[in-house]
């Protein structure tokens, strides 16, 4: 599922694909990905536009085109942007399955937004900069752009009795962290995911902040250029995570059997030995 590293990868890829290119056509299927906006805005507002910049805040992609038109793209649980290049082998030119919207560029390539489960979102913004959308303004510090400052994170957690795993999923606390990287970081920091947030000491929060930075950096380094594959897609996609989705397996650190629990409606793997 796309979290900060995957969305950062998407931002870098879109930046490369769209740089210097002009959109010739924009087409889409009328689905719920356009909630908060409209398919008509997508199809009418983007042709003739050239990219000015691509930003990322948390799990949101923010595209700004010349003339002040912006696009907010959230990948939801299964969304991704993929490219089909003119002149490539036929299997790389065909419309990908579950394509919900696409942009045809002046070099003949097409960028498709693919989303099997339709939890993603595309909103075209014309009245103000896309970064001024209320949903973007409500985000907390971005874990990559702003960094994970231990003192600020401790202050935010000290106000909450929620389990630390649930608090980390709150995008107003720290933007970009989701179920996977919260699970990985809490294991790396040796913190029980069910502990009340306000029970963490400053030292533990500092250790957690370092773990968050570490798992994000490691994951970004492992993601290769081009089309990304999510673990949820199956089809032989390898699990590159240390304990996420590995409940029932031995802990790679102490050998005890990894367990799972449900916190905030999300399944969480943890080690009963390393995360007391």
Least confident of 66-80, 84-98, 195-209, 246-260: 84-98
User: Distances from the Cα of 154 to the Cαs of 182, 185, 260, in angstroms?
Assistant: 16, 15, 26
> What would the two tokens of residue 236 be?
């032989």
Partners of 110 in beta bridges: 84, 104
pLDDT recorded at residue 49: 97
pLDDT recorded at residue 68: 92
CATH architecture, domain 4-137: Alpha-Beta Barrel (3.20)
3 is catalytic: yes
pLDDT recorded at residue 87: 72
Residue the block writes with tokens 């989701």:
178
Could you check whether 4-137 and 150-270 share the same CATH topology? Answer: no
Q: How would residue 175 be classed by pLDDT, with cut points 50, 70 and 90?
A: very high
pLDDT recorded at residue 233: 76
Closest Cα partner for 74 from 166, 175, 144? 175
Q: Does the pLDDT of residue 86 top 90, yes or no?
A: no
Provide the H-helix boundaries in the chain. 4-18, 39-45, 90-93, 134-137, 150-157, 164-168, 179-189, 202-222
pLDDT digits (tens, 9 = 90+) for 4-56: 999 999 999 999 999 999 999 999 999 999 999 999 999 999 999 999 999 99
pLDDT recorded at residue 235: 72
Spatial separation of the C-alpha atoms in residues 60 and 68, rounded to whole Å: 18
| 27, 152, 259, 266: the active-site residue | 266
The reported pTM is 0.94
CATH of domain 150-270: 1.10.8.50
2 is catalytic: yes
Q: What is the mean pLDDT of residues 167-173?
A: 98
| 49, 56, 57, 59: the active-site residue | 59
Q: How would residue 194 be classed by pLDDT, with cut points 50, 70 and 90?
A: very high
Q: How would residue 91 be classed by pLDDT, with cut points 50, 70 and 90?
A: low
pLDDT recorded at residue 61: 98
Q: Where are the domains of the chain?
A: 4-137, 150-270
| 2, 5, 163, 193: the active-site residue | 2
User: Could you count the other beta carbons within 10 Å of the beta carbon of residue 66?
Assistant: 11
Q: Does the pLDDT of residue 206 top 70, yes or no?
A: yes
Residue the block writes with tokens 């097409």:
110
């Amino acid at each position: 599922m796309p979290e900060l590293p995957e969305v950062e990868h998407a931002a870098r890829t879109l930046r490369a694909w769209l740089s210097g290119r002009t959109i010739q056509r924009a087409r889409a299927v009328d689905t719920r990905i356009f909630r908060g906006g409209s398919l008509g805005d997508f199809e009418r507002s983007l042709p003739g536009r050239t990219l000015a910049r691509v930003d990322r805040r948390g799990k949101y992609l923010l595209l700004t085109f010349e003339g002040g038109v912006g696009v907010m793209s959230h990948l939801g649980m299964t969304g991704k942007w993929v490219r089909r290049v003119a002149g490539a082998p036929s299997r790389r030119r065909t419309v990908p399955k579950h394509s919900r919207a696409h942009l045809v560029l002046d070099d003949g390539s097409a960028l498709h937004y693919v989303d099997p489960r339709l939890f993603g979102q595309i909103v075209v913004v014309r009245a103000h900069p896309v970064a001024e959308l209320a949903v973007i303004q409500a985000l907390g510090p971005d874990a990559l752009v702003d960094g994970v400052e231990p003192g600020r994170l401790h202050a935010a957690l000290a106000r909450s009795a929620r389990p630390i795993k649930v608090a980390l999923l709150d995008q107003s606390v720290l933007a970009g962290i989701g179920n996977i990287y919260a699970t990985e970081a809490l294991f790396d920091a040796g913190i029980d995911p069910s502990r009340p947030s306000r029970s963490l000491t400053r030292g533990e929060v500092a250790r957690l902040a370092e773990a968050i930075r570490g798992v994000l950096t490691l994951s970004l380094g492992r993601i290769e250029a081009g089309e990304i594959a999510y673990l949820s897609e199956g089809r032989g996609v390898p699990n590159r995570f240390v304990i996420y989705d590995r409940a029932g397996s031995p802990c790679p650190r102490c050998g005890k059997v990894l367990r799972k629990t449900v916190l905030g409606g999300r399944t969480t793997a943890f080690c009963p030995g390393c995360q007391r």
